[in-house]
Amino acid sequence: MRADPPGLNRRALLAAPLILAPSSLAACERFASAEVAPGPDAPPLKSLADFPIGATGMTGQLDDPVWVAAMRRDVDQITPEWELKPERILQPGFAYDFSASDRMVDWGHEQGLRVFGHTLVWYSQGLDQFTDALPTARFAAEFDRYVSTVAGRYRGRMVGWDVVNEAVAEDGDGLRDCVYARKLGPEAYIVRAFEQARAADPDAVLFLNDYNLENNPRKGATFLRLVERLLAQGAPIGGIGTQSHLDIEIPAGQIRDFFRDAASLGLPIHVSELDFPMQRDGGRAPDLRSTADRRAQQVARVGELAEAFMALPARQRFAFTTWGLRDSDSWLVREEGKNRPNESALLLDGEGRPNPAFQAVAGAFGR
Ligand code: 9MR
């Protein structure tokens, strides 16, 4: 249990309703008038839970004293946002460059944070080196060498790794076609990656990580059946990573149902990349609802997720990580991300103050 920061009025903070009816104007108004302790009086995010609270970080942020102070105050764990990926480490000719990854891992430890690795194998990365044209024996040898070298470099220093990222097909219908699957076998490449990672870093908890597991129940089910099959084949999977880039428009109960099914596997669960955009992706009909209505819907879904996480047995709550710490840190606002400067999809606003969803999480976590 952590001590409250000075000046925190927890009762006022938690005065807001935990779950709001999606379109309830009354709920929106109640919520909008909730007393949120501003600025330095707001409780640190990490004080909301007995399990680790995480956020991403990038090398470009390490020299920003405001971001550094916010990370020190609010989180227990950091996931480097891209520095540990093949896109950064793997170089032409299967050379490796660890300059950025070392910097992130060292920085995390200097700050006393747990460091979480993301990600060793991802269908969309490493494709300049890992090609269909490469002879299979060389492909397999380089695959093993990559996973064991990267995981081995940080042996004993990482709390966990996303060993394979996004193995399930986009629509949830089976597994994703990718060069790793084609060359090594659709499930064999995953088993192989986990075996290499386990041998290289026996103490790190090894995760299969994926997205849209709550948004698309079919994909959630395919993912969980995949985990079961991989475990049956002996893959040392130690945890389930659900990215939780939430679609706030999914029906109530869907998040809870996914967590209930996921919990039945008995593995620790990492909410690994949480965000909850207010704005719709392109391709859908224009959203004519008020911002307040969308906020209420957002708060309801985030509250449901936090409650579902809390409903897990304590030993299955690995960590609760948001993809970016403050709204301004999100990939959604960045030009090379979704380029939506006004998006508010995280627990803290651009100034590091609680957003409405913060209260739902605080309430669900019972703080
Ligand atoms: O937010 C990440 C962005 O900075 C990177 O450029 C991008 C490609 O590496 O990946 C983004 O993070 C993704 C994560 O690795 C996997 N799930 C989806 C995330 C958002 O696109």
228: in domain: yes
Mean pLDDT of the chain: 91
3-class SS string, 264-332: CCCCCEEEEEEECCCCCCCCCCCCCCCHHHHHHHHHHHHHHHHHHHHCCCHHHEEEEEECCCEHHHCCC
Please give the positions annotated as active site: 166, 210, 273
Distance in angstroms (rounded) separating the CA atoms of residues 33 and 27? 10
Which residues, in sequence order, are bridge partners of residue 241? Answer: 209, 270
- Residue range 115-131: mean pLDDT, rounded: 98
Which residues are near ligand 1 (CB < 6 Å)?
Answer: 81-82, 85, 87, 165, 211, 243, 273, 331
pLDDT at 326 over 90: yes
Neighbours of 218 (CB within 10 A): 12
For 36-66, give one letter per residue: b (16+ CB within 10 A) or e: bbeeeebbbbbbbbebbbbbbbbbebbeeee
For the whole model, what pTM was predicted?
0.91
Atom of ligand 1 lying closest to residue 165 CA: 16
20: in domain: no
pLDDT tens digits, 198-245 = 999 999 999 999 999 999 999 999 999 999 999 999 999 999 999 999
- Domain span at residue 142? 42-280+287-364
pLDDT at 166 over 90: yes
pLDDT at 291 over 70: yes
Residue with token string 């620790």? 268
Radius of gyration of the chain (CA): 20
32: in domain: no
pLDDT at 314 over 80: yes
- Residue range 278-298: mean pLDDT, rounded: 89
359: in domain: yes
DSSP class of residue 175 equals B
User: How many A from CA of 38 to the centre of ligand 1?
Assistant: 30
9: in domain: no
pLDDT at 1 over 70: no
pLDDT tens digits, 78-102 = 999 999 999 999 999 999 999 999 9
- Give the CATH number of the domain where residue 299 resides: 3.20.20.80
What tokens appear for 192 in the block?
Answer: 């192989």
Distance in angstroms (rounded) separating the CA atoms of residues 145 and 115? 22
Please report, in angstroms and rounded to a whole number, the separation of the first and last CA atoms in the chain: 10
pLDDT of residue 57: 98
Count of structural domains, the chain = 1
pLDDT of residue 367: 75
166: in domain: yes
pLDDT at 123 over 90: yes
pLDDT at 106 over 90: yes
pLDDT of residue 259: 98
19: in domain: no
The CA-atom distances, in angstroms, between 291 and each of 19, 133, 221, 348 are 17, 51, 32, 17
pLDDT of residue 14: 36
pLDDT at 288 over 70: yes
Shortest CA distance to 123 belongs to which of 186, 180, 190, 50? 180
3: in domain: no
pLDDT of residue 280: 87
User: How many A from CA of 118 to the centre of ligand 1?
Assistant: 10
pLDDT at 287 over 90: no
- 289: phi then psi, degrees, rounded to nearest 5: -75, 160
